[in-house]
Amino acid sequence: MKELLEAARHVRQFAHAPYSTFKVGAAVRGASGAIYTGCNIEISSYSHTCCAERVAVFKAVSEGETRLVACAVITDVSPPAPPCGACRQVLHDFGPDMSVLMANTAGEQQVMALRVLLPNAFTPDKVLDVLRRT
């Protein structure tokens, strides 16, 4: 988790957040052990903005990871900010058992299970079940 947090802290410098000025760094660890990083990328039309966590997950999946085991996210607010709802769902699809480390630049940290952050989650098997029935 320490290595994951350092990766998230490092990538936060690349956050493209000219509209909100809220810089986020994230890192996920794949089942292979590899780490993938992401920062938030804001787009001038706003709604196309992508959160740091999702950038990290999409990088991991596009590099061949199918299962993620942990996520670290760092901002500069206190208490440390948790992933937004959309990111919780994306993280859950690839790692329902993962731990999420939330941290800030002042050194505060909190670890929570994703299952606690997103209870009773919608899961890929629900969609796959429907496909199997057709």
Pairing label, strands 25-30, 68-75: antiparallel
By CB under 6 A, tell whether 34 contacts ligand THU: no
By CB under 6 A, tell whether 17 contacts ligand THU: yes
Max alpha carbon distance in the chain (Å)? 53
Q: Name the token pair of 57.
A: 């997950």
Q: Which is nearer to ligand THU, 37 or 40 (CB)?
A: 40
By CB under 6 A, tell whether 89 contacts ligand THU: no
Catalytic residue ranges: 53
Smallest distance, Å, CB 33 to ligand THU? Answer: 24
Q: What are phi and psi of 3, to 5 degrees?
A: -65, -40
Q: Which member of 87, 98, 100, 114 binds ligand THU (CB under 6 A)?
A: 87
By CB under 6 A, tell whether 51 contacts ligand THU: yes
Q: Which member of 20, 32, 66, 78 binds ligand THU (CB under 6 A)?
A: 20
Q: Name the token pair of 16.
A: 């493209």
Cβ atoms within 10 Å, residue 35: 18
